[in-house]
Structure formats: C-alpha cells, structure tokens
C-alpha cells in the first residue's frame, strides 16, 4: 500500500480567506484549498505547501500551522491530506507556474477571496465536506485572532 501526502492551506488575507475556485465546462464549480502532493524534492510538508502556493496562485505565505489531517484510504494508494492555516503575504498571478496551468484536464482554477465570516464560507461549496465543517466551526475564532 502506497501513501501519498498532500499539503493544503486555508489562507488568511487580513479580513478575507483565499481559496481556489475550480470548475470544468458543464460542471458545477466548487472551492478548495491551495495545495497539492508532496514532491520528492520538497524538504517537508511546509516546503511543499510554499511551492504549491507559488505554483497555483503566485503567492508567498507566512508561517503555517497544521490544523486538520484527513485520510482517504484507496485500493492501491492512501492519500493523507495535511491542512494548514497561513497568512498570505502576497499574491501575483503572473508568477503562477506548474503542470496544472497547461493541462486541459485540470479545468479552470482561480483564486477567490471571501470575507472571513460563516455566511461567506457556507456559500462557497467548499470541498471536501470535512474541511468545510472544520472551517465553519473555526472561522469566527480565526477572524478574532
């Protein structure tokens, strides 16, 4: 059985959260976190997270704190997703790069800023559901921090 680790981030941008809006022609769109698989060249989960933030949104992030781990058992590979909370220090879409940008099967993905509030998060169709539940439970505290 193989285990694949992913590093993902809920990004705080002052009084907003930053997610990725995903979608394919003819399908429903949804939001998810910035992040992806840990690559062999990544020193650790946080290094993978920083690389993914640059690739997907051209962003740099501050210190990251892990707040949730979700495990998806599969027939041949178990995926372990590590979710972090981090401040978004800057974002410049012209710095985006990586294999996702040129792959038509990836679909569209673009950063979306939403107010740091329960109603705004509830309206997102944030995936996966366990992440959405966790964010809804904690968004008020994150806003007060």
Q: What pLDDT score was predicted for residue 105?
A: 66
> Pick from 129, 9, 121, 122: which is nearest to 57 by CA?
9
Report the C-alpha gap between 73 and 77 in whole angstroms.
Answer: 7
Output b/e per residue, 48-61; b: 16+ Cβ within 10 A.
bbbbbbbbbbbbbb
Range of the domain at 41: 2-144
| pTM metric for this prediction | 0.92
Kindly report, residue by residue over 100-135, the tens digit of the pLDDT.
666 666 677 789 999 999 999 999 999 999 999 999
> Tell me, what CATH number does 39's domain have?
3.90.79.10
Domain count, the chain: 1
């Amino acid at each position: 059985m193989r285990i694949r680790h992913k590093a993902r981030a809920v990004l705080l941008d002052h009084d907003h959260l930053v997610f990725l809006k995903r979608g394919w022609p003819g399908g429903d769109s949804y939001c998810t976190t910035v992040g992806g698989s840990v690559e062999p060249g990544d020193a650790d989960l946080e290094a993978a997270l920083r690389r993914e933030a640059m690739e997907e949104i051209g962003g740099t992030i501050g210190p990251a704190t892990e707040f949730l781990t979700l495990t998806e058992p599969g027939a041949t590979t178990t995926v372990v997703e590590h979710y972090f909370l981090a401040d978004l220090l800057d974002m410049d879409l012209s710095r985006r790069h990586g294999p996702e940008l040129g792959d038509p099967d990836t679909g569209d993905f673009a950063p979306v800023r939403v107010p740091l509030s329960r109603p705004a998060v509830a309206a997102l169709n944030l995936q996966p559901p366990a992440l959405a539940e966790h964010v809804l439970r904690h968004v008020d505290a994150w806003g007060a921090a």
